Structure 1
């Protein structure tokens, strides 16, 4: 009898593990090229690296960046148009079905990033074209409320062809969600705002210090926190540099600046995305310029400093966004200009990537989000 119970228990645990290995992968796209219909949902198996089509949401214009609520019940999309908007959807994790709830103006043009807090009280979005950010309260049913806080950035920087005005590129919550870090390509600043989810009218206020400067002409784009919450890795779009910061209660202090480009690289630079591996041992950064590759950096656990350990072609063009599965076994790259997602196997020890041969064919993929 005891043996039978033990076998049943082991079978139950195994079944649970197998279920956890299969997660929803959501793909945001540009729809204005005629090859995409909206948001795509795939089932991703983090044991095999295979993806299977599950569902899609059509009729949604340029959902270029997505975020999934922590409870997995809602999805929010930045609609990257001249007259920008933010869309809210309910999400059925079992079927992958997305049901449109409502849409609100982003109060700017070309919104290109979106983030939702863990308690699903606010959605934050970055308006690249307008150079501002917006914070929308979220209703209990997951829809966006009517009122919003809009914060307009001002200023410019040295490259007048691209930095004559502010261009907010990302709005990223700190791990404890007490601060929002905002990268501005146009002003070469990373701003920090204190976040109070109890203040529905003005949840964001400037922290002290309110910002840090990156090098003139560098163009801050995206950043990611180390799992230990003590380090931040910020990617500069225009120079291809990665800046390593120490982090403490909203305060950023520079530790290191390291290039992601090879010393003899002569092509166009277009640094796009950056992520720390779940184990905190490696940092990955994509270049969607002429390099079309991912730089791989080893992390010094004590200091947070980086050492370049390799580069991997993304086997496509325009790697605008990429993601790692929660177990850190695979890295998936959205090659916008070659209309596919490439799936790489990740070596846990070396951090290096190997092509699995698995592909997801989808028009102009620009955002990948795996449901945790």
Structure 2
């Protein structure tokens, strides 16, 4: 009996370590100080971080993990028919990445990648190509040949919206649809998705149209699956929708900037807190802020405040799995700023902790094995 208790006491620190610590995976632009992908470990109670490993890759600006977190899929945001998705096996016992495959995305400058719920398909957004692709995932984590869907059209801003610019590919909570915000045509295109065949088809209601000139960028669902939110890069706003069976019904359009802001609007990323009570959105230079909103029972937003990101050109950000911290990637000041999150009020406090990485863009979490 004493021996059993001794074993239990030895295991408690290991169990506690896994509960408090997560891997943070970082995607970057490799145009200067960065070499590719980076892995850090973060304590979700204290906010302390430590470097674990890195892996070479060309412009891995966005990434996603397989449902079992054994594989990492990272876009290579390149042009001249070099846009691709690189595949890495991920050893969660020590946090190391090993390159195993690369496949074309069928278009230039892929800027977003997502893995579906079954872990059998990847969807990638080709920004300059104005298209998106689905790629089958093989049993060993590698990718098959892409099926590419080309968008057509333009919108009111002839400088930035002269052609399609697909900015993200988001699977619905039930895996039956793919939502594809296109900055160039001012639409969120909606596709029915069969997890068996992987071939997208236009949904019965094939798109949602935010205001002209808004520039749809990133899209996210509320944890309850009843609401969805779109951040608009050019309009500097969020469109809120009711969601059901592949259909988006507009309920609100609200600015991510204070009413008295007069500078360039240039929004980037959007996420809902794990408890579904708050929504956050990043605004790039010259604002360099995170807009903070509360979410009421109807799904509508109320602006609570605007927190400086303590850096230049904030891109993607993330809330850790416990909801204790919010981390924002400041692309042009080469740092990731760690904020403590008040779960009751939604407000943010700078912890003073930083991760120094060249041109950070995308942040994702994985459990420690």
Cα displacement string for residues 105-138 of structure 1 (whole angstroms, at most 9, x for unaligned residues): 1111110000011322111100000100000001
Per mean C-alpha deviation after superposition, the further-off stretch among 115-124 and 341-350 is 115-124
CA positional deviation for 1:223: 1.2
Partners of 2:291 and 2:309 in 1: CA distance: 10
CA positional deviation for 1:198: 1.1
CA positional deviation for 1:306: 0.4
- Of residues 158, 167, 173 in structure 2, which corresponds to 1:175? 173
CA positional deviation for 1:191: 1.1
CA positional deviation for 1:70: 1.1
- Kindly report which structure 2 residues correspond to 1:259-298, keeping only aligned pairs within 5 A, or say none: 259-298=255-294
2:78 match: 81
Cα displacement string for residues 206-231 of structure 1 (whole angstroms, at most 9, x for unaligned residues): 11101011100000000111111000
Cα displacement string for residues 330-363 of structure 1 (whole angstroms, at most 9, x for unaligned residues): 0000000000000000000000000111100000
- Kindly report which structure 2 residues correspond to 1:216-227, keeping only aligned pairs within 5 A, or say none: 216-227=212-223
Q: Secondary structure at the match of 2:351?
A: strand
2:127 match: 128
- Kindly report which structure 2 residues correspond to 1:147-166, keeping only aligned pairs within 5 A, or say none: 147-166=145-164
Indicate if the aligned counterparts of 2:175 and 2:195 stay in contact, CA closer than 8 A.
no
Partners of 1:351 and 1:277 in 2: CA distance: 9
Unpaired runs of 5+ in structure 2? none
How has the CA–CA distance of structure 1 residues 252 and 356 changed in structure 2, closer, same or farther, with 3 Å as cutoff? same
Partners of 2:256 and 2:357 in 1: CA distance: 28
- Of residues 240, 244, 248 in structure 2, which corresponds to 1:248? 244
Cα displacement string for residues 310-341 of structure 1 (whole angstroms, at most 9, x for unaligned residues): 11000000111100001100000000000000
Q: Secondary structure at the match of 1:64?
A: coil
CA positional deviation for 1:15: 4.5
Partners of 1:206 and 1:7 in 2: CA distance: 60
1:51 match: 49
Indicate if the aligned counterparts of 1:56 and 1:96 stay in contact, CA closer than 8 A.
no
Indicate if the aligned counterparts of 2:105 and 2:146 stay in contact, CA closer than 8 A.
no
CA positional deviation for 1:165: 0.4
Partners of 1:7 and 1:103 in 2: CA distance: 47
When normalised by structure 2's length, the TM-score is 0.96
Indicate if the aligned counterparts of 1:267 and 1:289 stay in contact, CA closer than 8 A.
no
Matched, 1:352 2:326: no
Indicate if the aligned counterparts of 1:25 and 1:371 stay in contact, CA closer than 8 A.
yes
CA positional deviation for 1:148: 1.8
Indicate if the aligned counterparts of 2:331 and 2:360 stay in contact, CA closer than 8 A.
yes
Indicate if the aligned counterparts of 2:104 and 2:146 stay in contact, CA closer than 8 A.
no
Indicate if the aligned counterparts of 1:124 and 1:134 stay in contact, CA closer than 8 A.
yes
Aligned-CA RMSD value? 1.6
- Of residues 66, 69, 89 in structure 1, which corresponds to 2:66? 69
Partners of 2:12 and 2:171 in 1: CA distance: 34
Partners of 1:206 and 1:289 in 2: CA distance: 36
Matched, 1:314 2:309: yes
Partners of 1:131 and 1:270 in 2: CA distance: 20
1:22 match: 21
Q: Secondary structure at the match of 1:20?
A: helix
Partners of 1:276 and 1:7 in 2: CA distance: 42
1:98 match: 97
2:319 match: 324
Cα displacement string for residues 61-120 of structure 1 (whole angstroms, at most 9, x for unaligned residues): 000001011101000011101131111111111222111111111111110000011322
Unpaired runs of 5+ in structure 1? none
